[in-house]
Structure 1
Amino acid sequence: MAGAVWAAATVALVAVGSVRAAGWLFALCLIAAAVTATLAVTGGRSPFGMLVAATLPPAATVRALPWAVRGLRRTRPAGPGVGRLLTSLAVSAGLLTLFGLLFSSADAVFADLVAGLLPDIALGGGVGWLARLLLIGLGLLGGAYLVSRPPNLEGLRAAPTRPAHRLEWTLPLVLLDALFAAFVSVQLTVFFGGAGHVLRTAGLTYAQYARGGFWQLLAVTALTLLVIAIAARRAPQSTRADRLLVRVLLGTLAALSLVVVASALYRMQVYADAYGATRLRLVVATVELWLGLLFVLVGVAVVRMRADWLPRLVIGTAVLALLGLAVVNPDRLIADRNVDRYLETGRLDVGYLSRLSADAVPALDRLPEPMRSCALREIAAELPRDGLWAANLGRERARRELGPTPATASVTDCPDLRRW
């Protein structure tokens, strides 16, 4: 059942490339798809088993080559051999190419149809297609090898460690909880007093306030998860008093960490309101939301004193966060927020918006001229007609939006894209 869920997640992640035109989003989805595909084939439930599973695909691809050769030698089909099948395929390809070229030269409509069905066969495009086919073929071969010879990852667990003395882990956590509580009390002042209170008190700008603390708080959030994992592993849990102490100290740390996450998100919101939304700001805000969800899951694991389900949910929630990002259409969301901000404040970074993908076209189309054409000019220039192999809903919608009112601005019309 778990393998089917990971396989479905892999398909959903890869399908993002056919829906969204943002290349950076598709690249993140492909990286995540490599992880989920590995888990679909190899399994693995424990953290150590999942870590080992991530190293299996490269080794499996290398070992699959001699395995496939031995399988072909052992298989003796009743029909024609491999050599004759390859010859038949070569003859078929030659005949289709010859007659396809003749028919294409005889009818322009048929030529357009063939051009849409066939990938780019120019020298550069041909090398790219061969590289893609090679990588896909090796990946499928490695996956077939792992399916036929599945590794045993269920027994891979980290060696048990000697529980620490109560004072050894209680004292650091009590002090850490106290430090977090002091920080949280300051953050509550920020929440109730607003960013203006902090700016007047500390004498900071919006950029200094947001950037000066967000990345540190992001590091604190990640390190806190590591501290909780180590403490949960080393803390004694043999008696009822030990288990109660674990729940209180780790639960308090998880709850206070949620306020740290909220503070980091608030700082990023202040920064985005002051300077506009960008891809980086949206991604790091999504990461913070995901880390906040992890703290909720950690809190549940601490209360239940069981965390065998947590590693799979960590990856599962990360995949859901990435798919959620694809659902909200990030480039369009960024463009919408910046256009709304322009309509309220009159400030807009047209140069940045012009570098977004075709997903942002419906939002940028709301801008008045000449800003609309300046923002859409570069995007429109990179919107060729997609063939069957590169069909994309985002680019198709952008072409429909730009069809009635194309972007007509020239370079001289947009001398300084940041001046608005």
Structure 2
Amino acid sequence: MGTRWETVPPPRPPAPPSIWRRRWPGPTGGASQPALVAITGAALITAASLPLDRPGVGWLVGAVAGTVALGVAIRRPSSLPAGPPPSPTPSRPTEPPTSPATGGPATTSPAGTTSSPTLVAATRTASGDTEPASTKDVPVRPTAGSPPVTVGADATAAGPSTVRSGSTGEPDRTGTVEPVRTGPARWGVARLFWAATTVALMGVGSLRAAGWLFVFCLLTAAVTACLTVMNGKTLPGLFFSVLLTPESVFRARSWARSGLRGSTRAGRAGIGRTLATAAVSVCLLVVFGALFASADAAFADLLDALLPELSVGTVFRWIFVGLATGGLLLGAAYVLAAPPDLSGLERPARHRLRRLEWAVPVALLDLLFAAFVLVQLANLFGGSAHVRETAGLTYAEHARGGFWQLLSVTVLTLMVIGGAVRWAPRETVAERLLIRVLLGALTLFSLVVVASALYRMNVYTQVYGATRLRLLVAACELWLGAVFLLVLVAGVRLRASWLPRLVVGAAVLALLGLAVANPDRLIAERNVDRFLATDRLDLEYLSRLSADAVPALDRLPDPWRDCALREIAQDLTDHPDDWRSANLGRSAAWELLRADPVTGPSQRYGTCPGAR
């Protein structure tokens, strides 16, 4: 039986991790049992309380339950691994391989290293075929520059088997790139603010009946929820906070499975006892509740109001809402267990402009803004007569034709300021002073443009009436004015690391302020005042407002009141609220309409008196 050497290709090195795998490797171990129990409970509560067809208090209940579950998960996000990771087993020193022909040592290259292909011993059987020898202690000739390895039971894969805590994500001395390990998230001021605004936005559904307003609040709450878990600080960090949060739902599945598999026997017994306790509790409530309901009619009515009507659609809705909520909360807990490293994403400008290359265009733009501001002051103090003489238009037509252009100017000006701050040089005192003067003047002129646009919108609504779109655009213009004030403050020191978060926070607070102002009621009040002054009323538009507008529309004289409230009253009658969809606006409207019901024939808008 002879021995010979065969060529085996060297092991392929592992592919380097992507940038996001380095910045966001995820938590170690699996999800902890308290986190899984809290998330499951919040999902069940949300599935039982969430009304999908309208705003209601159930949305606030679900938001509070989810926040409490994440608060529990953040205290102990991950369970400890089952044991320490196996350390690499060093290769046993082996003797140099011998030549099969001479029995002496194998030849090496002149440089003193073995050849690149790896040689493995093999044996020749009596039949002449070759087969590999046992690989338990078979020596392997290493490649040049690589550590010795042994093929067999003692062989280990090249590269680190674990990730060190506190890794930087950059290549080390050996060229190995390790992910960044971060600890569990903490409830800082910024994270608490985003969490509070998320709950407040979800709570709008318990106060306001306007569906369009609640849709805006839900979309904004989704953004603030992403910022709560990711807590991005810079502009790229805020962007990736929203972009990466959905990915956490998919990455958290293996984390949850690992937590379930890693539960100890005592933990599994505790889960079994908890499930048994819940089952016994449900059975007792069902039995005794049915007995009490059959014994007392008032108690039966109370149970009918509290419990939903069981149907196939209701069960499927519970399953869908529970799974969706559980997945979202699990993804959020996964992020909070080990948030990604979103620092250092901003890239400074590679090339700065020369002083005249940016200062001349901005200075000319300042002069143009100054001329426009002077004209606006003349129109403001001259009034409608001055506008009619110079432009041949009424002031309302003048306001209507210029508001949207001024809104575009405001947005474009912010882009110009951002570009100038990024590419303008600021090495010397004179360059920094030039930035402050030119951009400060442009910001002040922009505030005058914002004020002019708001004044035009006010005149426009006085003549043509208030609508949801006009109110939203005016609120957006107010927010842009607040952004210019923040830019003006940031320009004092030319440092604005806090600016992106404050801009987003100002937008969230503006939406909450709009909800507090009760937009549908505000629109109805402006139109009712306009009707009482000019006898002009758009009944078709007012009848499409939500129940929030009922207190204002109740001021209309008959028969205009009945024409404006008929559809709202019919909707409240056809779709009564239970405890999940309880809403302060609809409740107040129902009390007013019950005290003074809508009467009169079922007429359409064109036949209602006073419809214009």
Identify the residue that residue 347 of structure 1 maps to in structure 2: 536
Q: 1:402 to 1:253 in 2, by over 3 A?
A: same
Matched, 1:34 2:222: yes
Identify the residue that residue 581 of structure 2 maps to in structure 1: 390
Deviations 1:150-188 (A, max 9, x none): 111123222443221111111111121122222222222
Counterpart contact for 2:230–2:245, Cα < 8 Å: no
Q: Greater CA deviation, 177-186 or 208-217?
A: 208-217
Counterpart contact for 1:116–1:386, Cα < 8 Å: no
Q: 1:148 to 1:218 in 2, by over 3 A?
A: same
Structure 1: gaps of 5 or more residues = none
Identify the residue that residue 61 of structure 1 maps to in structure 2: 249
Matched, 1:132 2:324: no
Matched, 1:20 2:212: no
Identify the residue that residue 190 of structure 2 maps to in structure 1: 2
Identify the residue that residue 192 of structure 1 maps to in structure 2: 381
Distance in 1, matches of 2:540 and 2:333, equals 47
Distance in 2, matches of 1:128 and 1:210, equals 49
Residue 414 of structure 1 deviates from its aligned partner by 4.8
Q: 1:330 to 1:196 in 2, by over 3 A?
A: farther
Identify the residue that residue 308 of structure 1 maps to in structure 2: 497
Distance in 2, matches of 1:355 and 1:205, equals 30
Matched, 1:244 2:433: yes
Counterpart contact for 1:265–1:285, Cα < 8 Å: yes
Distance in 2, matches of 1:154 and 1:176, equals 35
Task: Name the aligned partner's letter for residue 198 of structure 2.
Answer: T
Matched, 1:406 2:597: yes
Identify the residue that residue 419 of structure 1 maps to in structure 2: 611
Counterpart contact for 2:349–2:423, Cα < 8 Å: no
Alignment of 1:2-401 (within 5 A): 2-78=190-266, 80=269, 100=289, 104=293, 107-119=296-308, 121-204=310-393, 208-383=397-572, 384-401=575-592
Counterpart contact for 1:115–1:387, Cα < 8 Å: no
TM-score (norm 1): 0.93
Q: 1:415 to 1:99 in 2, by over 3 A?
A: farther
Structure scoring higher RCO (CA < 8 A, sep ≥ 6) equals 1
Counterpart contact for 1:64–1:141, Cα < 8 Å: yes
Residue 397 of structure 1 deviates from its aligned partner by 1.0
Structure 2: gaps of 5 or more residues = 1-188
SS in 2 for 1:389: coil
Counterpart contact for 2:436–2:491, Cα < 8 Å: yes
Distance in 1, matches of 2:601 and 2:324, equals 41
Residue 410 of structure 1 deviates from its aligned partner by 3.1
Counterpart contact for 1:119–1:389, Cα < 8 Å: no
Residue 123 of structure 1 deviates from its aligned partner by 4.3
Deviations 1:269-326 (A, max 9, x none): 1210111111111110000011011111111111221111111110111111111111
Distance in 1, matches of 2:443 and 2:299, equals 64
Residue 41 of structure 1 deviates from its aligned partner by 1.4
Who wins on radius of gyration, i.e. which is larger? 2
Residues paired across the two proteins, number? 420
Residue 192 of structure 1 deviates from its aligned partner by 1.3
Residue 108 of structure 1 deviates from its aligned partner by 3.7
Distance in 1, matches of 2:310 and 2:190, equals 40
Residue 411 of structure 1 deviates from its aligned partner by 2.2
Task: Name the aligned partner's letter for residue 576 of structure 2.
Answer: R
Distance in 2, matches of 1:366 and 1:260, equals 36
Q: 1:161 to 1:111 in 2, by over 3 A?
A: farther
Counterpart contact for 2:539–2:605, Cα < 8 Å: no
Distance in 2, matches of 1:120 and 1:317, equals 42
Counterpart contact for 1:41–1:143, Cα < 8 Å: yes
Distance in 2, matches of 1:24 and 1:146, equals 31
SS in 2 for 1:390: coil
Q: Greater CA deviation, 205-214 or 374-383?
A: 205-214
Deviations 1:353-401 (A, max 9, x none): 1111111111111111111111111111122432121111111111111
Residue 102 of structure 1 deviates from its aligned partner by 6.4
TM-score (norm 2): 0.65
More helix by share: 1
Distance in 1, matches of 2:321 and 2:405, equals 40
Q: Greater CA deviation, 68-77 or 154-163?
A: 154-163
